[in-house]
Chains A and B, each alone.
Chain A
Amino acid sequence: MSPLNAALGLFFVLIYAGLILIFSLPRMNKKPPLLRRIEAVEKLKLAIGLTVEAGTRIHISLGNADLLSPCNSSALAGLSILEQVALISQLADRKPIATSGNGTIAVLSQSVFKNSLEGISAADLKESNQGQFSGTTPLSYAVGAISVIRKDQISANVLLGNYGCEVALLGQNSNQMKAITLGASDSLTAQAVLFAASDDPLIGEELFALPAYLGTKRIHSASVKIQDFFRWVLIITMLAGAILKYLGFL
């Protein structure tokens, strides 16, 4: 990376972090955030309600991402959503279950459960096996997660993470069990597959906006606002660049 690129990158990250922190201050959040309606989120909320009433449970699949790889952001967003779902499902008889294809993410999912579900001890968590490691390779992970989808009275499968085309197997099995299937991924292949295989796919950055829809933390709504702001900055910059190049200035 050239010094100019490094300086620009650092500047961008600092501005991004600064704006998120500023917009999460109480005085900047007097009004509740205006979020556009996403059908998938409404269905997820309904499914969480069903877990309390019908005694079913929610399965959150966190994919195969390695925490040390650049494609871990979807798994981090998945962990955030897992925390929100676990908090909302406090009253449910059957607590949510998470599967992942990476050891570090599996350990973190167990940590999230332990932290979110009040009164649950490490021994209970071990016994209930809520944060599962389902397989070491993408396909073996899919097979392990399928056994959860088919056997654990799942009413909704939330597929959030880094996948390949094997996510089609998860989607198909979820549909066969007549469970709600909600999918989002940072992988383009998985996004295309999920568009066909899930009831309600989330496209692109919608995955990272989910915590703002499910939770009440100010920082989540602040990060959605800043995400949108920078998206418009990028769009305008790219359009301006294209016009300037066309006119011969670049």
Chain B
Amino acid sequence: MLLIDFLKTVKKKSAVLFWSFLTIIFFQLACTFLKMEVTPFLLYGMYSEKIPVQNEFRIVEIEVNDVPASSLNLSGWHSDILYTGYENYNNMLRNNGTDIVKTRVEERYHFLTRSFLYPFLKNKIYNSKSGLANFSKWYSDKFSQFAHIDVRTIRVYSTIIEFDPASFTFIKQPRKLIATF
């Protein structure tokens, strides 16, 4: 096997490099089996979770100065940053201003929350409510910068789209205003 031959050759030339490579392999495999990301040891399981067959989709529509954001010629990256940024803000807002990572850690990782380090960690690793307060300005600034416009208002709407597979049509339900910046 090429990988084994490679490692044998590395061992002959440099023991330090050999053990470094083995450590990297060990960490990558350990992270994969424990389903835990410790960057740069990532999990490559994207799109591996089954997507349920559903014909209703909730989408977010953003209007800047009463103009749909989709018509502002935002690049793919900028669009992703702005839409995902809003989703993360909204998740934290709906979680009573508590970072959802904190909620998940405290629900699932009791070994961590019981450790003596946790009181120190919890003050450092989670977003605080001040993050929510500062988000509006950052968000407006980014829209202004990415779309090259002066932003007066940003309105975020939530809409349900119903998909009819037989006729291949999409029916949009009335949208609801969920946030303004």
Are A and B interaction partners? no
